[in-house]
Amino acid sequence: MPRRLKRYNPNIPWGLYFSEDDTGMPSDWTNVTLDLTSVAAGDAHLSNQYDISSKYGLVSEWWRWRARFNFQSATVVGELVKLYICGADDSASTVIDGGFGASYTGTVTEADLANCDNFGNVDTTQQDASIQSGLVRIMDRYISLAVHNATAAEITTTVASDSFVKMWPVPQIETP
């Protein structure tokens, strides 16, 4: 029976680093632009689109994610930053969940994200600038990431590495 590789690999060969630039990004990773310099309360920002097939052979359907957000002021217990995958399949990179184009810019609303996949939420009242992580299954070839600030405080970035989302493929299932 196939089983998942269980050993820790400190040298992940590649991943996606969603941020406004590559400051703090692990070497050999790909920066996907996502403006987190100023995300107002209630707003959402959408990243550029990334074609996962460009890393053919190094992709898994399961991805680990880790996110960190910095806020202008204290947040309230129970407030979240919501993470969404906006995907498009092989047929057309321009037909993406939520009706977004391949290179959407600007602010979107939570209602705009209704047809996208909410894969994770970051509890903003935790220590260490709200670092959280999780696991997500990505089945689309083209993906964009949306960050919805569902708090009463603004996400701000003084140093580019203050706020980011990292995603990397989980090792494939081993076969005996």
CATH number of the domain to which 152 belongs: 2.60.120
| pLDDT at position 129 | 56
Bridge partners for 4 per DSSP: 173
Query: Quick check: is 7 in a domain?
Result: no
Residue 73 within a domain: yes
pLDDT at 127: 55
Task: Specify if 1 maps to a domain.
Answer: no
For residue 21, name the pLDDT band (cuts at 50, 70, 90). confident
Better-predicted residue by pLDDT, 3 or 51: 51
Residue 165 forms part of a structural domain? yes
**Is the distance from CB of 167 to CB of 65 less than 8 angstroms?**
yes
Domain count, the chain: 1
Q: Could you report the per-residue pLDDT of 105-126, keeping only the tens digit for each? A: 668 888 889 999 999 999 887 6
